[in-house]
């Protein structure tokens, strides 16, 4: 259930009735200038009416503590506070207080307290785990004042606005109440918590990252980094908290998600992604993934919720660790373990791509990552963009593939990738069909050629090449040629940059086979190679067998 706080001075809006997916949480998004907000959590079976009770920049939690003295709120637990903060829960305690007397319908109840202050800003997101609750949300502009306790007047907080959710109890949520109500706040906001039942196990340290528009994700990452966890690269899901509706392995599928309307399986509608059951009693669901490379540094993250609408993940975070022991990593499950934040909690929405570029690439190398989904739901794809940190042979005379992604190579540019992407050229193995190779559109112009440029994992003394046309049987190129360059300029070399030298003249290609060719210049170091196919067609893999130029 989502609630948008209206701009100050406008009429409040009401929403009643069950939410689309009977989700386990209420999400409140602040959509007004920075001010104050208050959320009062009320038991679903307690009579409820709108009130003008006090407000502050706090979000209520649930634990037992006697009501604090409102006149001493500024010093209570050394937390700066403005007004009353409370979570009202049913009970048999008959005591009353001024706050309760103004509640107009709460009756005699036990007050339960647990709270923390939140620095608010536009777009702040608060999430309350599910229980049988109704929620009153109040937003205030600065300038309000307290009630006169002696007179019990209701004339305070004159600039308040109320948004009543579920006034008639029609959106009652059902799930076992967790031990602790928690608040998840968008990264970059200050949160101070006081937990009196149990401490929330840990909080992610903020990581500075910039949101990338969906249409810019590929051009931001695909020309300078690789997907470190791609299934085609060898990334593997080692464990997960749940995958009731759809398997976590789908997260790593290199192809874009698809939809098959009407297709039903045992668990319900079929989804191409990872989807967990509803009503997660824990703060988040998680999936632990081992990178497809020995280790890597991270520059960005993509989360795709394609076709998940009403059941999408409301928020995510990503953590990483360096470990040679898969069992140790799995033993941490949803706990702190040795995880370090890569991307703090970020809001997600339905059926779209979300990208974040880290303001500073991780200086540390990671072997495993954990994707956290708050609190549950569905994600179609997870991409972790970065750079492989290979383990090179100690023998400097060793010949190995320096054009492989695992060894640090990156496909940086190409002329066309109509049917299959350039990134497939540097993947391990020979693939499974034409879909996981590089294939260009048919050309209609005389003299046309297509090309792809690969940055090698290290400066190389190239010995030979393998051009593999596996599965390309009627659409392989007529010929292939290769140029190389030792690039010392800024950025990456263009296809027409000065300095390219031919190291393999045009050679005829055939269908569905590996073609081995010697390099014509073996004693000169190169940093990039350019594969040219004549006139067009498909190539599965390019191998650049070389020694490191050390």
Average pLDDT over residues 407-434: 96
529: pLDDT strictly greater than 80: yes
Lowest mean pLDDT among 129-133, 228-232, 346-350: 129-133
Q: State residue 212's pLDDT score.
A: 96
Q: State residue 205's pLDDT score.
A: 75
Q: State residue 203's pLDDT score.
A: 64
Q: State residue 447's pLDDT score.
A: 95
What 332-338 contacts at long range (C-beta under 8 Å, 24+ apart), as own/partner pairs, is 333/239, 333/241, 333/286, 334/241, 334/282, 334/283, 334/284, 334/286, 334/372, 335/201, 336/201, 336/202
Neighbours of 290 (CB within 10 A): 18
Alpha helices in 52-148 (DSSP H): 98-101
- The CATH code that applies to domain 209-388 is 2.60.120.260
Q: State residue 279's pLDDT score.
A: 87
Q: CB under 8 Å to 490, separation ≥6 — which residues?
A: none
Percentage of residues in the chain with pLDDT exceeding 70?
Answer: 63
> Out of 3.90.960.10, 3.90.1310.10, 2.60.120.260, 2.40.50.100, which CATH number does the structure's domain 400-548 have?
2.60.120.260
Q: State residue 48's pLDDT score.
A: 33
324: pLDDT strictly greater than 60: yes
Q: State residue 196's pLDDT score.
A: 19
H or E element at residue 46: none
Q: State residue 149's pLDDT score.
A: 35
Rg of the chain over CA atoms, in angstroms? 29
Higher per-residue pLDDT: 117 or 290: 290
The Cα 506–Cα 439 span in angstroms is 18
Percentage of residues in the chain with pLDDT exceeding 90?
Answer: 58
User: pLDDT per residue over 98-123, tens digit each?
Assistant: 333 222 222 222 222 222 222 222 23
Asked whether this chain's domains 209-388 and 400-548 adopt the same fold, the reply is yes
503: pLDDT strictly greater than 70: yes
Paired sense of beta strands 541-548 and 450-468, if any: antiparallel
User: pLDDT per residue over 384-415, tens digit each?
Assistant: 999 999 999 999 999 999 999 999 999 999 99
Higher per-residue pLDDT: 52 or 349: 349
446: pLDDT strictly greater than 60: yes
Is this model's pTM higher than 0.85 or not?
no
320: pLDDT strictly greater than 90: yes
List Cα–Cα distances, 235 to 31, 247, 304, 521, in angstroms.
39, 15, 17, 35
Q: State residue 193's pLDDT score.
A: 25
The domain spans of the chain are 1-198, 209-388, 400-548
Compute the mean pLDDT over every residue in the chain, rounded to the nearest whole number. Answer: 71
Q: State residue 204's pLDDT score.
A: 72
Higher per-residue pLDDT: 336 or 132: 336
Stated length of the chain = 550
165: pLDDT strictly greater than 50: no
User: pLDDT per residue over 447-497, tens digit each?
Assistant: 999 999 999 999 999 999 999 999 999 999 999 999 999 999 999 999 999
Paired sense of beta strands 479-485 and 125-129, if any: unpaired
């Amino acid at each position: 259930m989502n609630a948008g706080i209206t701009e100050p001075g406008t009429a409040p809006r009401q929403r009643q009735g069950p939410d689309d997916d009977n989700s386990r949480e209420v999400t409140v998004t602040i959509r007004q200038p920075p001010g104050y907000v208050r959320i009062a959590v009320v038991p679903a079976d307690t009579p409820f009416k709108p009130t003008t009770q006090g407000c502050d920049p706090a979000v209520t939690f649930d634990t037992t503590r006697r009501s604090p003295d409102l006149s001493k709120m500024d010093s209570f637990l050394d937390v700066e506070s403005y007004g009353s903060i409370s979570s009202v829960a049913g009970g048999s305690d008959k005591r009353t207080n001024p706050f309760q007397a103004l509640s107009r319908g709460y009756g005699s109840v036990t007050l339960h307290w647990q709270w923390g202050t939140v620095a608010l800003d536009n777009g702040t997101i608060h999430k309350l785990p599910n229980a049988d609750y109704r929620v009153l949300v109040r937003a205030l502009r600065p300038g309000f004042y307290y009630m006169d306790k002696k007179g019990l007047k209701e004339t305070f907080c004159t600039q308040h606005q109320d948004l009543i959710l579920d006034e008639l109890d029609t959106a009652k949520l059902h799930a076992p109440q967790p031990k602790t109500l928690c608040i998840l706040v968008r990264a970059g906001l200050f949160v101070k918590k006081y937990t009196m039942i149990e401490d929330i196990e840990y909080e992610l340290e903020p990581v500075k990252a910039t949101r990338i528009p969906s249409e810019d994700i590929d051009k931001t990452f695909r020309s300078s980094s690789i997907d470190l966890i791609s299934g085609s690269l060898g990334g593997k899901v080692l464990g997960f908290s749940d995958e009731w509706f759809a398997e976590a392995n789908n997260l790593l599928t290199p192809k874009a998600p698809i939809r098959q309307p009407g297709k039903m399986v045992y668990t319900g509608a079929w989804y191409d992604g990872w989807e967990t059951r509803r009503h997660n009693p824990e703060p988040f669901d998680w999936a632990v993934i081992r990178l497809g490379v020995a280790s890597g540094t991270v520059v960005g993250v993509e989360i795709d919720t394609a076709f998940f609408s009403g059941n999408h993940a409301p928020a995510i975070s990503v953590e990483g660790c360096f470990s040679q022991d898969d069992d140790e990593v799995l033993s941490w499950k949803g706990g702190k373990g040795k995880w370090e934040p890569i991307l703090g909690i970020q809001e997600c929405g339905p059926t779209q791509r979300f990208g974040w570029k880290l303001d500073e690439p991780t200086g540390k190398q990671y072997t495993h990552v954990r994707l956290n989904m708050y609190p549950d739901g569905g994600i179609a794809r997870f991409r972790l963009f970065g750079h492989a940190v290979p383990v090179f042979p100690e023998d400097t005379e060793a010949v190995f593939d320096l054009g492989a992604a695992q060894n640090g190579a990156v496909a940086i540019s190409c002329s066309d990738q109509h049917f299959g992407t350039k990134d497939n050229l540097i993947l391990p193995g020979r693939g499974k069909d034409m879909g996981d190779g590089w294939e260009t559109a048919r050309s209609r112009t005389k003299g046309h050629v297509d090309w792809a440029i690969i940055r090698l994992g290290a400066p190389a003394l190239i010995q030979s090449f393998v051009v593999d046309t596996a599965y390309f049987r009627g659409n392989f190129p007529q010929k292939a040629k290769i140029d190389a360059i030792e690039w010392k300029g800024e950025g990456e070399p263009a296809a027409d940059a000065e300095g390219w030298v031919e190291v393999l003249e045009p050679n005829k290609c055939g269908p569905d086979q590996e073609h081995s060719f010697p390099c014509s210049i073996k004693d000169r170091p190169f940093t990039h190679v350019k594969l040219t196919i004549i006139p067009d067609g498909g190539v599965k893999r390019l191998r650049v067998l070389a020694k490191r130029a050390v």
